[in-house]
Structure 1
Amino acid sequence: MDKLTVICPVLVKVRVTDGYKQKLSTGIQQAIRQIDVQMQHLEFQARRVVAELERQNPQGIPAARQQFEQERSRRLEARQKLLDKLKEVARLAPGEEVVHGQLQSLMELKVGDRWQEVAGMEVILEDGVIVEIRPTGGNVADG
């Protein structure tokens, strides 16, 4: 056998531009606003449930409050993570490459291929356009 087709990972990276940073920041800010709306809805719902429990089952109020507080804490934690991510985006330098995701590709290996060149590939995007396809295995020692 002198050739083999295998499934290989393809790393997708994005080259940072001002447009990329703006798009990413806008998406994160939108997610933060959505969490804020959810928090307002949760507070309204909590007041409504507590008022209902006061009339029907006052013993259930502490458990309901605890459940709402857990949900509130979970959303506050998610909001804080988004704020941290927003700070990270602000620190990205133009031209820097960041991992966007991973795909899989079929690759044909042949006897005589250089392992460093076929061990993995990465695709570089800039403003939504593929600007480079290159091997990732350049630092792998010969084996």
Structure 2
Amino acid sequence: MLTITRPVMVKVRVTDNYKKSLAMELRQTVAKLELELQQIEYQTRKLQEIAKKNPGAAEAALAQWEQEKQKRLDTRLKLLDKIKEVGKLENGSEVLQGKVESFVQVQVGDDWNRLMSAEIILVDGKVAEIRGS
């Protein structure tokens, strides 16, 4: 007999509470990004003023701030799309939340696929089901 680690998929069964919680979490992240975008805009305006007085001095920094701004805008769009998708989730369906590791004892003759197919199902933050051995 040998003890090994195996991946355990953690899934969430979709409920109205889960959808509300996930949408709220995504909205909070969007709000944080919007604050970061405001800060980037402020910094960009300051650099543009410097660039007017000394052309070329702030070009690299301005380009970097524009890249940062674009990254956040892209992330914001993806999050807004995810918020829309949350509303389309069907109650009772299962979505992957993550993966953890567990120990399992293996011995000659064990069904490898059965050993490696462990899942934990959560409903409203509580373990509702453990699948696999």
After TM superposition, the score normalised by the length of structure 1 is 0.84
Query: CA offset at residue 94 of structure 1?
Result: 0.5
- In structure 2, stretches of 5+ residues that fail to align are none
- In structure 1, stretches of 5+ residues that fail to align are 137-143
Whether contact under 8 Å (1:13, 1:99) holds in the other structure is yes
Query: CA offset at residue 110 of structure 1?
Result: 2.7
Query: CA offset at residue 49 of structure 1?
Result: 1.9
Q: What amino acid is aligned across from residue 90 of structure 2 in structure 1?
A: A
Matched, 1:77 2:77: no
Map of 2:10 onto structure 1:
12
Question: Which SS does the other structure have where 1:70 is aligned?
Answer: helix
Whether contact under 8 Å (2:47, 2:62) holds in the other structure is no
Map of 1:48 onto structure 2:
46
Q: What amino acid is aligned across from residue 27 of structure 1 in structure 2?
A: E
Query: CA offset at residue 81 of structure 1?
Result: 1.0
Question: Which SS does the other structure have where 1:58 is aligned?
Answer: coil
Identity %: 42
Q: Partners of 1:113 and 1:105 in 2: how far apart?
A: 17
Which of these residues, 87, 108, 113, is aligned with residue 110 of structure 2?
113
Map of 2:37 onto structure 1:
39
Q: What amino acid is aligned across from residue 76 of structure 2 in structure 1?
A: R
Structure 2 CA distance for partners of 1:64 and 1:109, relative to 1, 3 Å: closer
Whether contact under 8 Å (1:54, 1:61) holds in the other structure is no
Bigger radius of gyration, 1 or 2?
1
Question: Which SS does the other structure have where 1:59 is aligned?
Answer: coil
After TM superposition, the score normalised by the length of structure 2 is 0.89
Supply the RMSD in Å over aligned alpha carbons. 1.8
